[in-house]
Structure 1
Amino acid sequence: MKCISVYTNDFEVFSDIYEQVLETPLAENEEKQVEGVTVMESGDVPEHYLEKMKTKPEVVVMKVKDKDITILQHRNLFEIFIPSKESVVH
């Protein structure tokens, strides 16, 4: 799974830039600013990381069903997990 990290603890800010983040071309480990928020392509993450994080009480789990995307929020970070088959080659 491809992971994109969005460094904010404000859900409203995340929600406002979410679509723009998905459309921003990023190379692995590349960092960019989207509307003043740092966004980073964190590379491929193993499935067990996602499953482990879902069990932690401080982690909020959100699911975008029509795109099979999972979003985790913890501390000042949102992590967007996109299945490899869904990721776009830039």
Structure 2
Amino acid sequence: MKCISVYTNDFEVFSDIYEKVLATPIAENEEKQVEGVTVNGSGDVPESYLDRMKAKPDVVVMKVKNKDITILQHGGVFEIFIPERENMVH
């Protein structure tokens, strides 16, 4: 799974830039600014990381209904997990 980290603890800010973050091409370990918020291409993450994080009591788990995207919020970061098939160029 590809992971994109968005460094804000404000859900409203995250929600406002979410679509722009997904539309922004970002390479692994590349850092960019989207509307003043730092975004980092965290690269590929194993499914086990996602499962461990979901089990923690201080992690909020969100699913995007129409896509197989999972978003975790913890501390001052949102992590967007995108399955590799969602990233394929057609």
Per the normalisation by structure 1, the TM-score is 0.96
Unaligned segments of structure 1, at least 5 residues = none
Separation in 2, partners of 1:66, 1:14: 19
The root-mean-square deviation of aligned C-alpha atoms, in Å, is 0.8
**Counterpart of 2:68?**
68
Separation in 2, partners of 1:51, 1:82: 14
**Counterpart of 1:22?**
22
Letter matched to residue 57 of structure 2: P
Q: Shift in Å at residue 53 of structure 1?
A: 0.2
Letter matched to residue 83 of structure 2: P
**Counterpart of 1:40?**
40
**Counterpart of 1:7?**
7
**Counterpart of 1:59?**
59
**Matched-pair identity in %:** 80
How many residue pairs match? The answer is: 89
SS in 2 for 1:27: coil
Letter matched to residue 55 of structure 2: T
